Amino acid sequence: MRGMLTLTIITQRATSLNYGENIGNVSILKKLSLGDNSQITYVSDKALKYDIRRKGKEEKEWRLLDEKVKELIERSKDGKKLNVDKFAKELVQEYQEFDLFGGLLTNLKGADGKKVELSYGDSVKRTAPVKVTYAYSISKFQGDMDFMNNIEAYNRYIRHIEQKDAQVITQSEQHTAHYYYTIAIDLDRIGVWETENGTEEVIPAEEKAKRVKDLLDIIRTLSRQIRGRYENLSPIFAIGGIYKVKNPFFMGCIGAKETEDGKLLLDINRLLDCKGIIPEEERDNTLCGLLSGFFANEQEIREKLYCKSVGEVFEELKNKVGEIYGVPTG
């Protein structure tokens, strides 16, 4: 068993990362209420995975599910029926998105537009080997708003083209904060397909290792594109490792608050208690990394959690992934 790679991450400070539905002309951030009736903002797992996939396509040449899936449907037919296992293995091999993040394909239709009968089941389903939590803000939402208008564009061309009598006035909630989230990668399920009769290897070990390493590179430099802005979500703190026991041990273990000078005060004892839950024989697999200058108790973090730089942690994890899949580094 190869185990699970899990990382709990605190990001750079970022602004207004995920909006929900508008109320009138007001854009509302996605928020959660706490027990004291205060609120924090969050970024959904869907939004995080959207930008992970975006960077995968832009930087790592990942192939995302597209209209060419129809060609795989035709190639995977045995007579009139779709061979589910053959089709799914092709998807795992051809599409990094389906391999890493899974998917549910229902109501499949062939080139003739007619619904295709499946060899078994009523859908083609892959549970995601890579799971991402919501990203929660460390600081609380204070109700800040941004008043906006399009007067410059209105005067130049909108009033002439659209013949509108007035400019558009909008408001949007604003929140700038550090966020924390957890990612968990089941290394045993990368590049395989679970059939009715067991697990089948689909891609070689070299490609499995490459896909996981590419994902680590993306997380290391993660950004979000929203409303004409780039927001930096790269880690300023990361803790985790590769464990035989498949559990995201540090999920829910981040306790931090902002000090008056804007730095974070990290609850180290909480992280040490979470580390103590890890089986003793695997505890030393834990890695911790931070960027200098972001934490008020930086020296204590380095000493008690044996912190390295964030870059060193990601490089060490990539080397360990290569070892686990039997792929030499370099």
Question: CA distances (Å), 16 to each of 41, 194, 261, 323, in order?
Answer: 8, 39, 21, 39
Three-state DSSP at 126 gives: strand
Residue type, 266: L
- Residues 288 and 302: their CA atoms lie apart, in Å, by 9
Write down the pLDDT at residue 310.
98
Three-state DSSP at 173 gives: strand
255 with 270: CB under 8 angstroms? yes
Per-residue pLDDT tens digits of the chain, which is 330 residues long: 899 999 999 999 999 999 998 888 899 999 999 999 999 999 999 999 999 999 999 999 999 999 999 999 999 998 889 999 999 999 999 999 999 999 999 999 888 888 999 999 999 999 999 999 999 999 999 999 988 776 677 677 777 777 767 667 789 999 999 999 999 999 999 999 998 788 999 999 999 999 999 999 999 999 999 999 999 999 999 999 999 999 999 999 999 999 989 999 999 999 999 999 999 999 999 999 999 999 999 999 999 999 999 999 999 999 999 999 999 775
- Residues 170 and 165: their CA atoms lie apart, in Å, by 16
Write down the pLDDT at residue 154.
66
179 with 17: CB under 8 angstroms? yes
256 Cβ contact list (under 8 Å, min separation 6): 10, 138, 178, 180, 264, 265, 266, 267
Structure tokens at 259: 């000090």
- Residues 46 and 51: their CA atoms lie apart, in Å, by 9
- Residues 287 and 31: their CA atoms lie apart, in Å, by 31
CB atoms within 10 A of CB 169: 11
Write down the pLDDT at residue 330.
59
146 Cβ contact list (under 8 Å, min separation 6): 171, 172, 173, 174
Three-state DSSP at 118 gives: strand
